[in-house]
Amino acid sequence: MSEDDFAVEPIEGLPELLPKGEVILWQGRPNWLRLTIESLNLWWVIGYFGLLAAWRFLTVIDYMPLGTAFSASIPFLFVAAFVGLLLCGVGYIQAKATLYTITNRRVVMRIGAALTLTLNLPFTKIDNAAVAKKRGGFGNIAFETSGDTKFSFFVLWPHARSWYFGKPQPTLKCIPDIEKVSSILGQAAKSRIIEKDNHTQPSAPRVGMVTN
C-alpha cells in the first residue's frame, strides 16, 4: 500500500504510468495556511504564548511601572511570533510536497517533505470515506480501509484523521472546493462498482458526511 518514492515521477504525484483504462479525475494539494492551522494547531500555540505574556504582565504589574511590566512580557510575544512563523514554514513545505490524486480506480497520496511516500488506496481497499466540511469551502476526506490494510499514524501525519490512533485513517487534508472533490470521488466509486473484472464486481466505498 505504500512505498518510498525516490525515483523521478513519470506523472506528477504518481510513482508510475497509469495502467490502461485508468484516468486521472482530480489532483490537488492542501491549502498550506489551513493545514498549518488545523494540523499544526497554529492558533493554539500562539494563544499559549499569549497567555504566558498576559500571566507575566499580571504577576509583575503590582510592583513595576506599567511600561516596565509590559516590557517584561514582550519576550513571550516575540517567541509566539517566531514559533508561528516556524509552523507556517513547516505547513507551507508540507503542503507543497503533497499531491493528492483521484483516478477512476483509486486514491493516490504523495506525502512527506523529508521522506516522500506514495500511498496507493484502491477503491477495493476502502470501506468508507468520511467527508468533513469546513468553513470557506475547505474540507477533509478520511478513508477507512479494510482490515488487512494498516498504517502508522506518525508516518501519515499530518495527512491522518485526528484522534484515530488505534486504526489511523489516511486523509485528504484541507482541500479546497470540498463539495466538488467529494462528488468526483463518489461518482468514481459508483462507476467502479459497475465495472466488471472477470465477472466480479468490487464493492465501492461509502462516501458519507461528518462534522469533525
Q: How does residue 7 score in pLDDT terms, banded at 50, 70 and 90?
A: low
Q: Rounded distance, CA 170 to CA 167, Å?
A: 10
- Residue 137 CB neighbours (<10 A): 13
**pLDDT tens track for 90-135:** 999 999 999 999 999 999 999 988 888 999 999 888 888 999 999 8
Number of domains in the chain: 2
Residue 1 pLDDT > 60: no
pLDDT of the residue at 212: 47
**Structural domain boundaries enclosing 78:** 36-94
State the CATH number of the domain containing residue 171: 2.30.29
**pLDDT tens track for 18-64:** 999 899 999 999 999 999 999 999 999 999 999 999 998 888 888 87
User: End of a domain among 44, 61, 94?
Assistant: 94
User: End of a domain among 54, 76, 94?
Assistant: 94
Residue 193 pLDDT > 70: no
Residue 211 pLDDT > 80: no
pLDDT of the residue at 192: 67
Q: How does residue 149 score in pLDDT terms, banded at 50, 70 and 90?
A: confident
55, three cell numbers: 500571566
Choose among 179, 199, 202, 180: nearest CA to 191: 202
In this structure, the answer to whether residues 7 and 47 fall within a common structural domain is no
In this structure, the answer to whether residues 49 and 137 fall within a common structural domain is no
In this structure, the answer to whether residues 134 and 176 fall within a common structural domain is yes
- CA distance between the termini of the chain: 26
Residue 202 pLDDT > 70: no
In this structure, the answer to whether residues 9 and 104 fall within a common structural domain is yes
In this structure, the answer to whether residues 125 and 201 fall within a common structural domain is yes
Q: Could you tell me which residues come within 8 angstroms of residue 71 by beta carbon, excluding any fewer than 6 positions away? A: none
In this structure, the answer to whether residues 170 and 148 fall within a common structural domain is yes
Residue 204 phi/psi, 5-degree rounding, is -100, 150
In this structure, the answer to whether residues 193 and 153 fall within a common structural domain is yes
Please indicate whether residue 97 or residue 9 has the higher confidence score (pLDDT). 97
In this structure, the answer to whether residues 169 and 76 fall within a common structural domain is no
User: End of a domain among 53, 77, 94?
Assistant: 94
In this structure, the answer to whether residues 65 and 107 fall within a common structural domain is no
Burial code of 44-70, b = ≥16 C-beta within 10 A, e = fewer? Answer: ebbeebeebbeebbeebeeeeeeeebb
In this structure, the answer to whether residues 111 and 206 fall within a common structural domain is yes
Please indicate whether residue 176 or residue 195 has the higher confidence score (pLDDT). 176
In this structure, the answer to whether residues 11 and 113 fall within a common structural domain is yes
In this structure, the answer to whether residues 69 and 143 fall within a common structural domain is no
Please indicate whether residue 140 or residue 9 has the higher confidence score (pLDDT). 140
